[in-house]
Structure 1
């Protein structure tokens, strides 16, 4: 008597037999209409086969146990030489449908929902289920809410792809239980904000090449605020001065540097009895010539030109040393242009005063024509507006600059 083959295995063999008949057929000769229908049919069949495999994986734990594998996904990946992550993803889908979302599982194997949609729906339903502790309803009522959510998402799969379903899933409670949506959203947002505050961190790693790597994790609202501020700095640089367009991440990094330089030190927390300042140390010769180097408080070094540029806008205290490194003078910080002076400079200059630059005054920095460190006054006669790029150039010893008859500044590379 012939051994009876289980219908599941017999069906898989039948599918494979039909596929064998298609192997030698050449689809290139199909008319457009039939190509379209074939594509749709194969996509539907492929998804149903994947759903059946996921369903089988969910109940085949003994297969992995018999051969000492960690789980069925690992066994399938090893035996088929397939992708481990893909097999594990199928296992998660099959397990979720087997244990929690049977209606979705049925829709997957019948082809009403494809596998990609199924993953999105499971994620949305699991997220909603995990919010049970945040809503003040009984377990029975919450179970009915979850059932309505599952039914609604399966129905929407007939009209929307995974991306749209993800958005619908994020707001699913508004569709199936609007009376609970506001309460849940407020509780979820409060929990997310508390979690974000706990995870907030910032790390600065000096790389030893003149740069430092800053890695931060902050709440979304803070990140959005920072992005908005930095993009405000970078926006006019996209088309203003004709310079070669720089990569977005470099412009954002430069904008971050500019943002720190324009912070009002008077509004920073007191540190050591005074508003936060930066101490720089430099030789008298470097101060007067703009050549050489200066040391910051932590011992790192910058060029004298960069120190003089920073002195125009940053809250620096210059400690000037004589020839034997004896302190000659400890400078003061009352040298920044006042808001009223900034407005007057904006009205007078209207834009960056570098020759050919059209960056508007609102995005420029105030520069001392006669350096403040060398006795220059902080007044309108000694002030001029320069954009960030040209403010760097005016303190860069690789460039010469001179005033034109109309008061603009012209730059030339040293030879």
Structure 2
């Protein structure tokens, strides 16, 4: 048997040479398709090597070996830490590789006899490069949890069919199934095999529910939410109530000139959720942290804040945030000056300022009734308070300078084109140019804006002739 590391290094060198000599931009369509298929085939072979290595690391670092486990001998807590130091891959990726590696690694009986892997056919398909990581994981993740309820023979039967579908062709399809199709087929097998499982579906759902920790990519945080059906239904109903124009609360007839929402549906759902979180954090029933309401801590250099450039950083979040996001945090939640010397010592701590207190918030809520942007249905409890005249420009933290804006309209107030003006302490708005039907700024009147039912009733009564008693 030759040295496997040398063989992999040689293959690696050949791949690097191919990359150096190839510019995919110069390939015609058919050549690009062929190159993509070849690259994916090479990737499947690499997947198999990484999965096999991770499985072996997991076996040699299993807990029952104590101080003799490989990870301990290399000064690591477990196999994941050891692999992370070697590969520089994320712990999440390595954990998944280890799970698949353990499931496709040949087992050893107490007598020392070699036994097939739990997913022996998946292991063979991985070893020949017929399937990649995604298809293998789809099969294992679906079938392994039901093995104890349906038995090894039934799982093996489903595995045979799924590997055949993933490698193709089959009676059902002249080409192999893609990984997403394999996962769907595996779910069908799960329902067929486990129709009357010993563990009720509701109990399994309770065990599966959860919200995963966030993974930051491209400036946004990706989370996986696994909700019980009744919780999802409540959440969906709540979102729809504030996104469906027919269900938006209105005291009078709908305004035919109300602006249309420029956001995509998914974006609008995100922004409703953001407002919901803000409202929950401000609730008197929310638990406190260190005696204070739950507070997101954002740090930013004073020079960057003054210049309006640079970035801020949220405690516990990997991705930096823009200065616009920092300004929104400061406007809604206040700021505290901490002077840190060149040597890192804290020289002084200022008081928390520019925050509207509870009494002011109640008064502004009674006046505005919700986000004051026409057409927006976010209620007052979910809204933030915006300084109409910016604090840095001398604007005071007083009711005559504060208005309710939802999370989205607060974030975009400087760029959306909406204008806000306090006239005798009352909020008035002007729409952006694209909503003015060709009228200039001078031709567009300021419009008083409120969602308060009592305020709307007063305005309606002022517009009507005197009532006949």
Q: TM-score if structure 2 supplies the norm length?
A: 0.44
By percentage of residues, which structure has more helix?
Answer: 1
Q: TM-score if structure 1 supplies the norm length?
A: 0.49
